[in-house]
């Protein structure tokens, strides 16, 4: 795609304000906006792949974390009278009103077909502010942890598709960048420096058809 530089707004960041246009899955990461009102993943057009994004329709605004049926243990402390269009803000507001402390519950990611097709998924962590103790948590707990003064909340895009070198190096660089950004140590050690975890292999082009080669 090509847009003159004066017609794009680059280096924007979405924290679930946008969704993938083809799946309506919420998107966290860098994006850019064009003068004709379109959104794409990546910091700018040369930072691919530039997957199309869009604003979430009203019926899914707030994401799949909104409570349905029986509430989970995380949802029980939330007073549902205060739900509004911005669900994440509502959680934090309720936590403040009710003075409910955040407590991390360990979570192991389970990938779906969309994650595999996209080539990455979002991992969420929290670290005790005064101790080098990390816990991997789910998205709902991450949203709940952001306002806690006792924890540092971390999210990052974990690459799962590509050559082994690409996946390893990209994930390793993300961890090193995150440790520098938050002035912390030990996140890589917490993950056992396993930067190929969840790796699903790479695409191989055969004529005009792409197949997937997985590595054991």
Q: Nearest 5 degrees, angle CA 10-CA 87-CA 129?
A: 75
pLDDT value, residue 176: 95
Shared-domain flag, residues 118 and 41: no
Tally the domains of the chain.
2
Tens digits of residue pLDDT in 50-59: 888 988 766 5
Of 20, 36, 60, which closes a domain? 60
Q: HSE on the CB side for 51, CA within 13 Å? A: 19
In a domain, 205, yes or no: yes
Least-confidence region, from 59-73, 144-158, 200-214: 59-73
Shared-domain flag, residues 55 and 120: no
In a domain, 135, yes or no: yes
Tell whether the model's pLDDT for residue 89 goes beyond 60: no
Tens digits of residue pLDDT in 145-201: 988 899 999 999 999 999 999 999 999 999 999 999 999 999 999 999 999 999 988
Give the Å distances, CA to CA, from 5 to 2, 10, 53, 189. Answer: 9, 9, 19, 41
At which residue do the structure tokens 């974390």 appear?
A: 65
User: What domain range is 48 assigned to?
Assistant: 5-60
Tell whether the model's pLDDT for residue 49 goes beyond 90: no
How many angstroms separate the CA atoms of 53 and 18, rounded?
A: 6
Shared-domain flag, residues 42 and 124: no
Shared-domain flag, residues 147 and 209: yes
DSSP for 82-149? G--S-HHHHHHHHHHHHTPPP----------HHHHHHTEEEEEEEEETTS--EEEE-HHHHHHHTT-T
Selection from 88, 106, 91 nearest residue 15 by Cα: 88
Task: Give residue 65's pLDDT band: very low, low, confident or very high (50, 70, 90).
Answer: very low
Selection from 186, 85, 102 nearest residue 142 by Cα: 102
In a domain, 129, yes or no: yes
Selection from 104, 210, 120, 114 nearest residue 156 by Cα: 120
In a domain, 67, yes or no: no
Shared-domain flag, residues 183 and 122: yes
Shared-domain flag, residues 206 and 130: yes
Of 41, 60, 79, which closes a domain? 60
The helix (H) or strand (E) run that includes residue 199 is none
Shared-domain flag, residues 53 and 125: no
Shared-domain flag, residues 198 and 123: yes
Shared-domain flag, residues 119 and 209: yes
102, 151 Cβ separation under 8 angstroms? yes
Shared-domain flag, residues 49 and 127: no
Q: Which two tokens stand for residue 70?
A: 């029986």
In a domain, 95, yes or no: no
pLDDT value, residue 74: 38
In a domain, 72, yes or no: no
Shared-domain flag, residues 120 and 181: yes
Q: Residues 6 or more apart from 85 whose CB is under 8 A from it?
A: 61, 62
Q: Residues 6 or more apart from 140 whose CB is under 8 A from it?
A: 65, 72, 74, 75
In a domain, 97, yes or no: no
User: Quick one: 149 exposed, middle or buried, by C-beta within 10 A (0-12, 13-18, 19+)?
Assistant: exposed
Shared-domain flag, residues 117 and 209: yes
pLDDT value, residue 99: 57
At which residue do the structure tokens 């990461």 appear?
A: 29
In a domain, 177, yes or no: yes
């Amino acid at each position: 795609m090509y847009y003159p530089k004066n017609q794009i707004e680059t280096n924007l960041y979405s924290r679930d304000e946008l969704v993938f246009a083809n799946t309506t899955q919420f998107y966290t990461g860098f994006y850019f906006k064009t003068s004709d009102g379109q959104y794409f993943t990546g910091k700018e057009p040369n930072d691919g792949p530039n997957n199309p994004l869009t604003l979430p329709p009203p019926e899914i605004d707030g994401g799949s974390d909104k409570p349905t049926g029986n509430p989970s243990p995380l949802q029980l402390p939330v007073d549902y009278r205060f739900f509004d269009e911005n669900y994440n803000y509502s959680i934090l507001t309720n936590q403040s009103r009710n003075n409910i402390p955040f407590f991390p519950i360990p979570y192991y990611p389970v990938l779906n077909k969309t994650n595999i097709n996209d080539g990455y998924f979002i991992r969420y962590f929290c670290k005790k502010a005064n101790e080098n103790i990390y816990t991997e948590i789910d998205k709902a707990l991450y949203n709940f942890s952001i306002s806690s003064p006792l924890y540092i909340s971390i999210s990052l895009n974990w690459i799962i598709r590509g050559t082994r070198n690409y996946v390893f190096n990209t994930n390793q660089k993300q961890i090193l960048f995150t440790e520098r950004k938050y002035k912390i140590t030990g996140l890589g050690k917490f993950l056992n420096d396993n930067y190929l975890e969840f790796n699903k292999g790479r695409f191989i082009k055969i004529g005009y058809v792409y197949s997937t080669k997985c590595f054991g």
